[in-house]
Every structure is written in structure tokens, then in C-alpha cells.
Chain A
Amino acid sequence: MKQGRANPPPGPRTRLRRAPHGSTLRATDILPLAALGVLSRPTRAILSAAGIALGIATMVCVLGISSSSRAQLIAQIDALGTNLLTVTPGQSLTGVNLTLPRTAPAMVRRIGPVLAASAIGDVDASVYRNDRIPVVNTEAITVYWADASLLRTLQGHVDSGRFLTAATSRFPAVVLGADAASALGVDRADGTVQLWLGDHWFSVVGILDPLPLAPELDRTALIGLSAARQLLHARGSPVQIYVRTDPASIAAAAAVIPATADPAAPQNVAVADPADALIARADASAAFQSLFLGLGAVALLVGGIGIANVMVIAVLERRGEIGLRRALGASRQHIGLQFVAEAALLATSGGAAGAVLGGFATTVYASQRHWSATVPVLVLLGAVGIALVVGVTAGLYPALRAARLAPAEALRII
């Protein structure tokens, strides 16, 4: 009977030692190892990655569409010029709407960097298609008097006819905003169409294109100041002045406009940049995005749970493989790493597919609206990064179970 050899006395049993030839896994071998596990069941891999793909696609699409629309708006504003300011009278302490002095437009034009300034003002009248329309049917169209230079200052265009001129300003002639024209059913501006405006017949001489920087004018009827005074007894005090400035000196001009427009009460003058307001409004509509982003996040969460579920099943099914790998020299960490990497690979593939899908959907949507599609690279990278985080998180528990599996136990089952 053979007996064990005498061994050198063991050292103190304090902690487990590391041997010089510990098990080692090259970093470059981790991905192929994970890919092997994922690709061995391709259908299951595709199905479990689909949840992540859906979530990521939703998020990319929402962010892509909103950034495309914002980029479109900014491009539009840039094309129109960002050097437009609006000057309005504020309200008095008692809440009464104030007006600007009649001299305000001329005074503002004297400011050095101001290139053009045009005013509009209240007219106490409503406009109707003809004199048979009940007075209450105003179609919510406001009548203003306007300087003949207004369209040039706004860099707007007429759809048909012409804008007011020094000549037509003296006569009963009206120019309609785009919305006002369609509300009144006017599609010609050759002077043959007449509207009933403040108990006078006014000839339609022009119809405007929509004014992106002054959308408030789209539903107005504009007449000349002289006509407004003579026929409709307008006071001639501006309620709004549109100011085009030297692009380099917008802030400087804005600073001196209040005191110039109304030296007696500069505190009652408000100066605003309509481009800011438009962008702010576009950003406010982005609040709606959070709902869709939330939906995307829920899809991601469900996708992550799906992956965790699939990985837990994989650990049960692959006990034999786990036992074998342990027998072949894999440490607990290596087994855990393999399963985390598999989950991460599944989720990242799903995330990449979702990013492509979301980018594609954004492109299709944008091209239908004749926008240029803008999907920030950061959004795409972030999407894949989020998928990676979801995958690693989903893989942690299954990996822990796989790593804890006793090798002898794992090899016993078949």
C-alpha cells in the first residue's frame, strides 16, 4: 500500500495564496468568448436584443427629430437674419396698455447701428369680406396701420400684389397677412377685391407670405398710416416697432433703444429678440419629448430584464460548459466575466441596431418634411453607451450565479 510522501510543513493558515501560475485570460480573448456564447443561439440572441434595440431606436428617433427640427428653425432664423429686435410699450403699474410716442420710430432710426425701423399701430376697426357680414364675425383678424418700410425691415415677401407704398398708404388700400387672407377667402391682390374695413371699402393690394420672425402679423390686415388717420381716426401711436440693426451691435442698440424711443419713460419700453422667443418656444415643445424618452427608457428596462432572464436560463442550460471551463482552468472571475461580456455584447448589439434604426427613422421623417436630418453623434454614442450599461447591469446577477457554480457539481449533471 502506497502512502503519501512526507510534505514540507504548511505555513500559517491565514489567507489563500496566489500561485505564480494563476489562471490568466487575455483581454483580447474576452470578446470572442462572449461572441461564441451569443452566436451559439442566434434566434434567442436576436429576440433578446430586440427589446434594447426598440428602446434605443425610440430615444435616438425622438432626440434626432427634435434636434433636426431645432436645426431647421435655427437655419431658418439665420437665413432671415438674427439682427431683428422688437420694441414694445410695456404696461403701466395699473395694468393699462401703454403706447410709444409718435416720434419713437424716427428717434430709433437715428441710433447709429440701426439700419431700419418700422412701426405698426392700433386701428379701432375690424375687417370683413363685405358689408353684410355680422360685426361679431371678425375672424380674429386685427387691423393695424403699418409703415411702408415694414416688409423690408422684416425681410418678408408678398405672395401676390405689393406691400403698402407711400402712395397707397394714403388711399383705402389693405395688405393681408397670409392667415388673414385665407380666413377671408382672398386669393387675389390685383385691386379688384374689396373688403369692408371700418365702414369703408378697402382694396386688397397685397397678400403676404408667412413671416417667420413676426408670426403675429400673419393674421392682420395692414393699412397705411395716412389712410388710418384720415378715414378711421387712428391716433398714430406705435404699439410695436421692428428694428433691424447692425449684426455686430445688436446688444448696444438694444441698450439705448428704450431711452431713445421714450425719453420720458424709458422703463415702459421693452426690447426683445423674436429669434430668442422662437427658439424658446421650440425648446418648450421639447418638453413633450420627455414622454417619448420615458417610453424609450421603459423599453430599455424591459429589454434589460429580458436579457437578464435569458442569461439566467443560459447559466442553467450551460452548467456543463461552465463546469468544463472551470476544469480547463477558468477561474470564477473568468466565468463571471464571460457571462457579463455576453450580456453586454447582446445589449450593445441591440443598442447599435437601435441607433441605426433610430437614425434611419429620423432621416426618413426629416426628408419627408424637407429638413436636413441632424442626429448628433453624441446621441448615437450615448445610445450605445446606455445599452452597454444596461447589458452589464443585466449580466451581473447571472454572471454571479455562473461564477458561484461549484465545478464538480456543474460537471455531474447531464
Chain B
Amino acid sequence: MSGGPAALALQEVTKEHPGSPPVVALQSVSLSINDGEFVAVVGPSGSGKSTLLAIAGTLERPTAGSVQVAGTSTDRLCDRALSGIRGSRIGFVFQQFFLLPTLTAAENVACGLVYRGIPPGQRRRRAADALDRVGLGDRQTHRPGQLSGGECQRVAIARALVGDPAIILADEPTGSLDTATGDDILALLAGLNAGGATIIVVTHNQDIAAAAGRTISLRDGKIVDDSEATA
């Protein structure tokens, strides 16, 4: 464990979805992820992977326990402050890309910077840089409809990177892609991790799990295994 605050720390996190009986999605999960780690979260369907990602990304609040992002406790933050944390500390990558079809690649990448009060000129520059980092410097003015699936996911990764987040959370980033394209995306994520980015990937993909430096296995809302790869 490094000396600075962890990029992400969960303490005794429990999440119950209301109902009768209530569904326990996560049960007393504690974990700490340091800067620069590449972590795969694996487990069967319904094991709580997506809930873990949503809570780690502050999209949901835990029923009990606490979440810290880059040393900041998120437990008692108001919506605006929590949204600020998401905007500045966390980058999301989704299986369905969630690109806005009427915007160009660069505009899609710059989308989140609007909520940080960054002026338009700076937004454009940072978006162009981020697209360069994912190898799409020449696709800035293309719209999602003009891009392949792999390119769309690269745009989505650029959007996650553009705000210099402490941590990137990816939910099945290769789930909608064919194997070869998926491998490209995996290589891109691995490259970004080698460059210092902290990445957490929820996946069924064994290749990603194998490429990650650390694998956390979930089952029935509990961590059943947390192992570092012995490379």
C-alpha cells in the first residue's frame, strides 16, 4: 500500500435494495485500491458487481458503510458536491458507450467538462488531447454514427480520461465489441494503466481479468477472493 490516500476505499459497505424481503446487493464489502492499480472485478450475474461499481462511482449511496474517493469521504456530501467528485475524480466507461449521437467525437469527450465550469476553448483543447491519447486525433469532427464500435468505445474512454480523474471505472467495456476490437480496447486500457491511470473494470472477460494486476471476485454481494497477479 502506498503512502498517500487510496484512490478508492470502501469500508464495510452494505447495499440493500428496498422490497419485501429486501435484496442485499452488497454485504459488508471493504476494499482499498491504490493509485496506479489495474483491478478487475469478476463474478457471476447478480453477484453485486454493478452495484459495487455504482457505489464506487458515487452514483448510488450505500445503505451502510463509507466510501472515500481520493481521500475524500463521500458519506455526507450533498448532491452538488458528490456530482463534483464524479466530475473531477471519477471517469466512467460503459458497455453501451452512451455517446450523444448529435455531438461530434470531440464534443462528446468535452461533455463532462461543462459541469466543471471550464470555458469552451479549454474544453476543446483538452478534448483534442484526450482523443489523441486514445488514437483518434483524426476523428474529432466525426459523429458516433460515423464511427465503428471500437472507435466509439475509444471516444468514451477519452471522455473518461479528459478530466484527469483519480480513477477510471469501466463496466464491461468490451461487452459490446467483437474479440479483436475488445483486445484493442484492453490494450488501450493496459497502456493507460502503464501510464499511471488507476482502472477498475467490471467484466466477464477472462482476458481482461488476466491482464489486470489484481482480481476481486464477488459472489452474493461478498468478496470471496482478492488476489494480485503473480506476473
Q: Interface on A for B, CB 8 Å cutoff? A: 1-5, 7-8, 10-11, 13, 15-19, 21-26, 29, 33, 36, 39-40, 320-321, 323-334, 406-408, 411-412, 414
Beyond the given A19-B84, A22-B84, A328-B87, please list 9 additional residue pairs across the A-B interface where CB-CB is below 8 A: A1-B223, A7-B66, A17-B81, A23-B80, A23-B81, A23-B115, A324-B111, A326-B86, A331-B79
Residues from chain A with Cβ under 8 Å of B147 in the complex: none
Residues from chain A with Cβ under 8 Å of B76 in the complex: 10-11, 13, 15-17
Stretch from B40-48, B54-62, B131-139, B179-187 at the A interface? B54-62
User: Across the interface, do B98 and A406 meet the contact criterion of CB distance under 8 Å?
Assistant: no
Residues from chain B with Cβ under 8 Å of A29 in the complex: 114, 120
A10-B76, A24-B115, A330-B115 given; A2·B226 CB < 8 A: yes
Residues from chain B with Cβ under 8 Å of A412 in the complex: 50
A17-B78, A320-B98 given; A329·B11 CB < 8 A: no
Q: In the assembly, what is the distance between CA of A334 and CA of B83, in Å?
A: 10
A21-B85, A334-B115, A408-B54 given; A324·B32 CB < 8 A: no
User: Within residues 118 to 161 of chain B, which ones have a CB less than 8 A from any CB in chain A?
Assistant: 119-120, 159
Beta-carbon contacts of B185-229 to A below 8 Å, as 1s and 0s?
Answer: 000000000000000000000000000000000000001001000
Residues from chain B with Cβ under 8 Å of A325 in the complex: 111-112, 115
User: Across the interface, do B77 and A17 meet the contact criterion of CB distance under 8 Å?
Assistant: yes
User: Across the interface, do B86 and A5 meet the contact criterion of CB distance under 8 Å?
Assistant: no
Residues from chain B with Cβ under 8 Å of A24 in the complex: 84, 115-117
Q: Interface on B for A, CB 8 Å cutoff? A: 1, 5-6, 9-12, 30-33, 50, 54, 57, 59-60, 66, 68, 72-73, 75-88, 90, 92, 94, 96, 98, 100-103, 111-112, 114-117, 119-120, 159, 163, 223, 226
Closest residue of A by beta carbon distance from B68: A7
User: Across the interface, do A320 and B96 meet the contact criterion of CB distance under 8 Å?
Assistant: yes
Tell me the smallest distance from the CB of B187 to a CB of chain A, in Å: 24
Residues from chain A with Cβ under 8 Å of B66 in the complex: 7, 10
Most B CB contacts (10 A, CB to CB) among A4, A408, A411 go to A4
Closest residue of B by beta carbon distance from A24: B117
Q: In the assembly, what is the distance between CA of A327 and CA of B87, in Å?
A: 7
B92 touches which of A328, A331, A414 (Cβ 8 Å): A328
Tell me the smallest distance from the CB of A410 to a CB of chain B, in Å: 9
Residues from chain B with Cβ under 8 Å of A2 in the complex: 1, 31-33, 226
* 6 nearest CB pairs, A to B: A329-B87, A328-B112, A19-B81, A24-B117, A23-B83, A329-B115
Q: In the assembly, what is the distance between CA of A320 and CA of B94, in Å?
A: 11
Q: In the assembly, what is the distance between CA of A323 and CA of B96, in Å?
A: 12
User: Across the interface, do B9 and A329 meet the contact criterion of CB distance under 8 Å?
Assistant: no
Q: In the assembly, what is the distance between CA of A60 and CA of B80, in Å?
A: 42
User: Across the interface, do A323 and B98 meet the contact criterion of CB distance under 8 Å?
Assistant: yes
User: Across the interface, do A23 and B87 meet the contact criterion of CB distance under 8 Å?
Assistant: yes
User: Across the interface, do B81 and A39 meet the contact criterion of CB distance under 8 Å?
Assistant: no
B73 touches which of A10, A36, A324, A407 (Cβ 8 Å): A10
The majority secondary structure among interface residues of chain A is loop
Q: List 28 A-B contacts (CB under 8 A).
A: A1-B226, A2-B1, A2-B226, A4-B6, A4-B32, A5-B9, A7-B68, A10-B73, A11-B76, A15-B76, A17-B76, A18-B80, A18-B81, A23-B81, A23-B83, A24-B84, A25-B115, A320-B96, A326-B59, A329-B83, A329-B86, A330-B83, A331-B79, A332-B80, A334-B115, A408-B54, A411-B59, A414-B96
Closest residue of B by beta carbon distance from A1: B226
Residues from chain A with Cβ under 8 Å of B31 in the complex: 2-4
User: Across the interface, do A36 and B102 meet the contact criterion of CB distance under 8 Å?
Assistant: yes
Q: In the assembly, what is the distance between CA of A33 and CA of B114, in Å?
A: 9
User: Across the interface, do A4 and B11 meet the contact criterion of CB distance under 8 Å?
Assistant: yes
Tell me the smallest distance from the CB of B222 to a CB of chain A, in Å: 12
User: Across the interface, do B114 and A25 meet the contact criterion of CB distance under 8 Å?
Assistant: yes
Residues from chain A with Cβ under 8 Å of B90 in the complex: 327
Tell me the smallest distance from the CB of A25 to a CB of chain B, in Å: 6
Closest residue of B by beta carbon distance from A25: B115
Tell me the smallest distance from the CB of B62 to a CB of chain A, in Å: 12
Q: In the assembly, what is the distance between CA of A407 and CA of B79, in Å?
A: 12
Tell me the smallest distance from the CB of A293 to a CB of chain B, in Å: 39
Closest residue of B by beta carbon distance from A3: B30
Q: In the assembly, what is the distance between CA of A24 and CA of B163, in Å?
A: 14
Tell me the smallest distance from the CB of A227 to a CB of chain B, in Å: 87
Q: In the assembly, what is the distance between CA of A233 and CA of B92, in Å?
A: 107
Residues from chain B with Cβ under 8 Å of A17 in the complex: 76-78, 81
Closest residue of A by beta carbon distance from B10: A4
Q: In the assembly, what is the distance between CA of A7 and CA of B32, in Å?
A: 12
A16-B77, A408-B59 given; A326·B83 CB < 8 A: yes
Closest residue of B by beta carbon distance from A33: B114
Tell me the smallest distance from the CB of B22 to a CB of chain A, in Å: 17
Residues from chain B with Cβ under 8 Å of A15 in the complex: 76
User: Across the interface, do A16 and B78 meet the contact criterion of CB distance under 8 Å?
Assistant: yes
Residues from chain A with Cβ under 8 Å of B163 in the complex: 329
User: Across the interface, do A333 and B80 meet the contact criterion of CB distance under 8 Å?
Assistant: yes
Closest residue of B by beta carbon distance from A334: B115
Residues from chain B with Cβ under 8 Å of A18 in the complex: 77-78, 80-81
Q: In the assembly, what is the distance between CA of A4 and CA of B6, in Å?
A: 9
Residues from chain A with Cβ under 8 Å of B75 in the complex: 10
A19 touches which of B12, B77, B101, B159 (Cβ 8 Å): B77
Q: In the assembly, what is the distance between CA of A141 and CA of B127, in Å?
A: 87
Q: In the assembly, what is the distance between CA of A25 and CA of B114, in Å?
A: 6
Tell me the smallest distance from the CB of B167 to a CB of chain A, in Å: 13
